[in-house]
Structure 1
Amino acid sequence: MTRAELQKLWEARIAEYRESGQSVKEWCASHEGISPRQLWYWLRKFKNQTTAPPESSNRWLPIEISEQGSPEQSLLVKIG
């Protein structure tokens, strides 16, 4: 198995673990051949890797502007 294949396999396993809501010990007990030590290793390994650049994770939120305020009021937008 190549390094890329192994990484994809563990990415899928970690996604399955996170979706399960189980503890590491419980999840490993229900997945024969995977030890908690292995799972913790891969969780730490992927913790420092980001799948998307930060700039692509921005979201736009809708705002409603009321005409009840005075025209001198301003809107302050903070980014970051």
Structure 2
Amino acid sequence: MNYKENRELWVTRVASFRESGMNQSQWCKANEIKLSALGYWLRKLNPRDDSDTEAGIFEFASLKVPDTCSAKSIILEVGAVKIHLNTDFDEKLLLKTIRTLQQL
């Protein structure tokens, strides 16, 4: 089975799980699916924007940035947490940091 076929299969499975009213463990037992596989595909197919804003973790604000911006760094502030980023920041490290903050 190629990736596209596998993805289509899991789109169907995730829809079935959501419509079932069961929790993940119950649904996996009833359908003989590994719990870790369902969890993976739920994360993969779930739009991150919706889950983050519904949980009230992050809200995005629009900013007006002048055409010529000479800033060498920016500061992200979420509640009591401030993250200072230089223009050459490591995107993967920032994503890991945000995921860690979401779990707090």
Q: TM-score, normalised by structure 1?
A: 0.57
Higher strand share: 2
Q: 1 or 2, which has the higher helix percentage?
A: 2
Whole-Å separation in 2 of the counterparts to 1:24 and 1:39: 8
2:39 corresponds to 1:35: no
Q: Which residue of 2 aligns with 1:59?
A: none
SS class of match (2:31): coil
2: distance between equivalents of 1:48 and 1:14? 13
How big is the alpha-carbon RMSD for the aligned residues of Structure 1 and Structure 2?
A: 1.2
Report the identity percentage: 42
Q: Deviations over 1:38-62 (max 9, x none)?
A: 000000001137xxxxxxxxxxxxx
Per the normalisation by structure 2, the TM-score is 0.44
> Structure 1: which 5+ runs fail to align?
50-80
Q: Where has structure 1 moved over 2 Å in runs of 4 or more?
A: none
Unmatched 5+ stretches in structure 2 = 49-104
The answer to which structure, 1 or 2, has the higher relative contact order (CA under 8 A, 6+ apart) is: 1
The CA deviation string for residues 23-74 of structure 1, in whole angstroms up to 9 with x for no partner, is 0000001012x1111000000001137xxxxxxxxxxxxxxxxxxxxxxxxx
SS in 2 for 1:22: coil
Which structure has the larger Rg? 1
